[in-house]
Structure 1
Amino acid sequence: MTKQLMDLVENEDFEMFVILKKAEKRVAKNGKQFLAITFQDKSGEINGMYWDASDDDVEKFTAGTIVHLTGKRESYLNSPQIKISSMNLPNPDQHLDREDFVQSAPMKEADMKSEIDQIVFSITNATYNRVVRYLLKKHGDAFFEFPAAKSNHHDFEGGLAFHTISIVRLAEHIVDQYGDIDAPLLYAGAVLHDLGKTIELSGPVGTTYTLAGNLLGHLSIIDAEIVEAADNLGISQDSEELLLLRHMVLSHHGLKEYGSPERPQLLEAEILHDLDELDASIMMMKRALNQTAPGEFSDKIFGLDNRRFYRPNTEE
């Protein structure tokens, strides 16, 4: 079996084909340019620095490029890092498929589409259903291709739809457990809450923030999309249902310092915020622990206040 990035142990020399998930040109203190790179394959990702990069290197080693990498796995500030010995483009006769290197959602796209269709069917309120259908039709292709984030959680192809499905599955259990929850509102908010990322982010490969993403953010983007959808569907801007749906997406980050213009003021909005946090946190922890040996602590997880998590020896 061919060894992959996450199979490497510290100080192990290797050579393999990987894809550049990220390749950012930077300038060192000595004035020379270098590339800050994130190498990726199906097993995971590791960072590395390509020092003294020429203009030709910057032009050819871009995000989404498959390269033949020779180097050593080392550690820097308690995090794995690749020391690059050489990095070259594949020979023309080496036909390599990007899909063999890119991480993707643990569900097939067809299965995610089918489950989203069932979720939409369960949104029985006419206003919520019409708005959700309108926006999914408008952004549907990107919704099933984009990651849910540039980094941290669900930052893989199809991550946006998979994250959404995970939240709705959790929400269905909450609805079953507790009474007096507006299920259609909760499900509609869950489907729409991150849909603005199809505009905020550039796409699944070499993901960056767009100009709209940097200036507006996905909460305000999707709120504007909801307003536009309502106008086109003949739904009054003063409709209480529309205001509730807008509140769901505008408050889902929970705190103003985290980007929400308002804190949750609906039971369903608080549930959506909590489930969003839960799903993102679990995904970040699982990724870190999958790269941690039993009996050891994980690397620091930036999205979880730089905490480290222990993987017990008792795991089988």
Structure 2
Amino acid sequence: MNPSPLRSLEAGAPFEAVVAVRRKERRLSRQGKPFLALTLADASGSVPAVVFDEADYFATRFEVGDRVRVTGRVTERDGRASVVVTHLRPAADEVAAEDLLPRSHRDPDELWGFVLHLADEVGDPGLRATLEALTGDAALARDWRTMPCTRSGHHAYIGGLVEHTVGVASVVQALAVWHPRLDADLLLAAALVHDVGHARAFRLGATFELTDEGRLLGHLAIGHEIVADAARRAGLPALRRAELLHAIDWHHGPPPGQAPGAAGPEALALWRANALEAGVKARLEGPGPVD
């Protein structure tokens, strides 16, 4: 049987597919019998699943992030499809890991071209040199084009980071036209690099996983470090560097210990533009957290 897209399941139908395990929990039924609660995923979506029979045996055969071939039957619970698993086995040699990951409907390489075009519109020489140092880093640029923004919220797919980058940059450009007293170069540069930390916070497997750096530091701290290093190498003056980092550090709102009124106008604009773009995208994709 060919793998079935997880968004087109029908209750009562047999199920067989190679999927990624996104979640794995051992639980006990009311009768005290162990079972496994899983989330299975492929490029089309995800579905909850349970293993009732021989749960402890099957639990030893896979871990979160593994690719497995699952056999079972589709049921419906609370109006949503679910899978009762009767058998599963490792299947890493059957499907490439990235084939199970969702992808942007837009071409990431084309979106990267927009990033480069927007970077060229920054007139400030120091900011422009900083952007060139970042976009000219081949390894960073590759991951910038590839990684998601979240694992299960907005832009949670391959190419999500670069798509979100272009979206936020487009929003702040419009805002700078409406409010000409904003520092348009600073705001656009900050928008282009505000989430660059995600490029090192995630890694691609059969699911989106955090790197050790991403788990321990988070994308805000990683992004601050990446941009600060590039700014120093580009010779960006200290005050300008501080203004750029201030805006980036505020893109999710006040950093710890700072009141909302401490934001500069560009930092405030980026904070709101980021929330707007991410929030709209999350709503279009369905309910879920905005990270």
Question: What's the TM-score, normalizing by structure 2?
Answer: 0.82
Task: Return closer, same or farther for 1:255/1:82 CA change in 2, 3 Å cut-off.
Answer: farther
The answer to whether the 8 Å contact 2:67/2:206 transfers is no
Given the alignment of the two structures, is residue 13 of structure 1 paired with residue 13 of structure 2, yes or no?
Answer: yes
Letter in 2 for 1:128: L
Contact 2:58 2:88 in 1 (8 A): no
Per the alignment, residue 248 of structure 2 pairs with 249
Between the aligned partners of 1:8 and 1:260, the Cα distance in structure 2 is 48
Structure 2 match to 1:75: 77
Structure 1 CA distance, aligned partners of 2:55 and 2:119?
A: 49
Q: How does 1:163-178 map to 2 (within 5 A)?
A: 163-178=164-179
* 1:214–1:43 Cα change, 3 Å: closer
Q: Corresponding residue for 1:109?
A: 108
CA distance in 1, matches of 2:51, 2:77: 16
Deviation track 1:87-137 (CA, whole Å, cap 9, x = no partner) reads 345697xx6455554211111122122111111111221221222221233
Answer whether contact 2:66 2:90 (CA < 8 A) is retained: no
Name the residue aligned to 1:293: none
CA distance in 2, matches of 1:207, 1:158: 12
Structure 1 gap ranges (5+): 289-300, 305-316
8 Å contact from structure 1 (residues 147, 160) kept in 2: yes
Q: CA deviation at 1:226?
A: 2.3
The one-character-per-residue Cα deviations of 1:215-249 (angstroms, maximum 9, x if unpaired) are 3222122212222223333334xx22111100011
The 5 Å alignment of 1:191-210 reads 191-203=192-204, 205-210=206-211
Higher relative contact order (CA 8 A, sep 6+): 2
- Deviates most, 171-180 or 46-55: 46-55
Q: In 2, Cα distance between the equivalents of 1:7 and 1:18?
A: 15
The amino acid across from 2:272 in the alignment is D
Output one character per residue of 1:123-162: Cα deviation in whole Å (capped at 9) or x when no partner.
Answer: 2212212222212333111111111112211111111111
For residues 69 and 171 of structure 1, what CA distance do their matches in structure 2 show? 48
Take 1:154 and 1:279, find their aligned partners in 2: how far apart are those partners?
10
Write the deviation string for residues 70-103 of structure 1: whole angstroms up to 9, x where unpaired. 3214225x765433233345697xx645555421
Segment drifting more, 266-275 vs 55-64? 55-64
* C-alpha distance in structure 1 between counterparts of 2:69 and 2:272, whole Å: 40
Distance (Å, rounded) in 2 between the aligned partners of 1:16 and 1:216 = 39
Distance 1:53 1:260, change over 3 A: farther
Is the contact between residue 147 and residue 159 of structure 2 (CA under 8 Å) also seen in structure 1? yes
Does the Cα contact within 8 Å between 1:73 and 1:81 map onto a contact in 2? Answer: yes
| Residue 287 of structure 1 pairs with residue 273 of structure 2 | no
Code of the aligned partner of 1:45: S
Q: How does 1:30-41 map to 2 (within 5 A)?
A: 36-41=37-42
CA offsets 1:258-284 (integer angstroms, 9 cap, x no match): x68664612221121112111221222
**What displacement does 1:53 show?**
4.4
1:213 is matched with which residue? Answer: 214
The corresponding residue for 2:123 is 124
Equivalent of residue 289 in structure 2, options 282, 300, 303: 303
In structure 1, give the amino acid aligned to 2:42: D
Work out whether residues 47 and 81 of structure 1, in 8 Å CA contact, stay in contact via their aligned partners in 2.
Answer: yes
Q: 1:56-82 CA distances to partner (integer Å, 9 max, x unpaired)?
A: 754545525253443214225x76543
Give 1:205 deviation, angstroms.
4.1
Output one character per residue of 1:272-311: Cα deviation in whole Å (capped at 9) or x when no partner.
11121112212221122xxxxxxxxxxxx3427xxxxxxx
Find the counterpart in structure 2 of residue 313 from structure 1.
none
CA distance in structure 1 between the partners assigned to 2:91 and 2:99 by the alignment: 15
Q: Distance in 1 between matches of 2:62 and 2:271?
A: 42
2: CA distance, partners of 1:216 / 1:61: 24
Residue identity opposite 1:225 in structure 2: I
Percent of aligned positions that are identical: 20
| Distance (whole Å) between structure 2 residues aligned to residue 262 and residue 32 of structure 1 | 51
- Corresponding position of 1:22: 22
Work out the CA distance in 1 between the residues paired with 2:35 and 2:233. Answer: 49
SS of 1:103's equivalent in the other structure is coil
